[in-house]
Structure 1
Amino acid sequence: MERALEALRVGNDKAKAVDGLPVRAHRPGQEASFYEGFALRGIRVDRIQPGFLLCSFTVPPRLTDVSGKMAAGAVVNLVDQVGAAVMTSEGHHKKPSVDISVAFLSPANLGDELEIRSKVLGNKGGLTGTHILLMNKTTGQVVAEGRHCLFGNLIKSKI
């Protein structure tokens, strides 16, 4: 346990380096989000149509584990964020997640370019289901498949 704690301990110099990272606001008039800048920086929207969202993302060093593979939490984060974002393609407000299921099928490595496909499966009452597929663009291998359930009013936003 002591060795594990020592490995996880962050020195002042590293903590200061993280605190000094530039973080820009993603939405006009709102405060900058370190989370969005760290976890989502580099994601590109390639195509959007009602009920469908296609994105690209190159695995950066900041989201990999010690072996150079994309961290499981980073994969789940993409399923969560892209699964929720596809709702806006239908003109709805984002709703909070109530259930996420992710199957990890093959690893994504540092520098791999991923294709992320998200589609709305349907709406029933206040529930919306989405399906998210992460694939390696070069090999065609499925990295992960996710199902995402969100709950809230289906109020159309004024886009």
Structure 2
Amino acid sequence: MEKRTREYLQVSQQDSDRVTGLTIPPRLSDGIDSFYETFALKGLRLEQFLPGYICYSFIVPPRLTDRNGNLAVGAIATIVDNIGASVLYRKDGPKHVSVDISISYLSTAKLNDELEISTRLLGTKGPYKGTLVVLKNKLTREIIAEGRLSVFSPATSKI
């Protein structure tokens, strides 16, 4: 078992080449805060926007796949965190801090699959807000993952 685990965790030359070949663009003032968010969310397209509900489409890029060609679970977690908070975003509004995230991984998405990613506000209790994020394969309608995100929005100072 230990030998198989060690072999599985071994970085392949292909994986090493993929990381070495990454092109990191200079930071732009387009509202995206970091390389991490740019890396994970680049290519996301807004499909529908309603108060309390947003729907995006996204084609799974090579940079977010694991060695089996599936959308990586870490990428799904990043998408749930960022997209879940997007339904709460208000220009000049308070910053939101994720305090709890729960994700059910139900299926896999492959390289170049087109996903529908929807988020909606579940509710608010004082400074706490809850959102639901669902990732679906746009062609088959199969649910890839479902995540719930709880965020805290500190009160803005009146000083």
What interval of TM-score do these two structures reach, taking the shorter chain for normalisation?
A: 0.7 to 0.9
Q: 1:21 aligns with which of 20, 24, 37?
A: 24
| Cα 1:15/1:47, change in 2 over 3 Å | closer
Task: Tell me the number of residue pairs that the alignment of Structure 1 and Structure 2 aligns.
Answer: 151
Q: Secondary structure at the match of 2:88?
A: helix
1:89-134 deviation digits (Å, cap 9, x = unpaired): 6984340100000001111111110001100011101100001111
Task: Supply the distance in 2 between the matched residues of 1:106 and 1:132 (Cα, whole angstroms).
Answer: 15
Q: How does 1:1-159 map to 2 (within 5 A)?
A: 7=11, 17-18=21-22, 20-27=23-30, 33-88=34-89, 92-153=93-154
CA contact (8 A) 1:51 1:90 kept: no
Report the Cα offset of residue 21 of structure 1.
2.7
Q: Secondary structure at the match of 1:7?
A: coil
Percent same amino acid at aligned positions?
Answer: 42
Q: Secondary structure at the match of 1:88?
A: coil
Report the Cα offset of residue 4 of structure 1.
6.2
Deviates more, 1:38-47 or 1:90-99: 90-99
CA contact (8 A) 1:105 1:143 kept: yes
CA contact (8 A) 1:97 1:148 kept: yes
CA contact (8 A) 2:95 2:154 kept: no
| Cα 1:5/1:133, change in 2 over 3 Å | closer
Q: Secondary structure at the match of 2:87?
A: helix
Q: Secondary structure at the match of 2:89?
A: helix
TM-score normalised by the chain length of structure 1: 0.81
Structure 1: gaps (5+ residues):
none
1:52-98 deviation digits (Å, cap 9, x = unpaired): 11111100011011111100000111110100001026984340100
Structure 2: gaps (5+ residues):
none
CA contact (8 A) 1:131 1:145 kept: yes
Task: Supply the distance in 2 between the matched residues of 1:117 and 1:68 (Cα, whole angstroms).
Answer: 23
Q: Secondary structure at the match of 2:122?
A: strand
Task: Supply the distance in 1 between the matched residues of 2:50 and 2:155 (Cα, whole angstroms).
Answer: 18
Runs of 4+ in 1 over 6 A off after TM superposition: 8-11
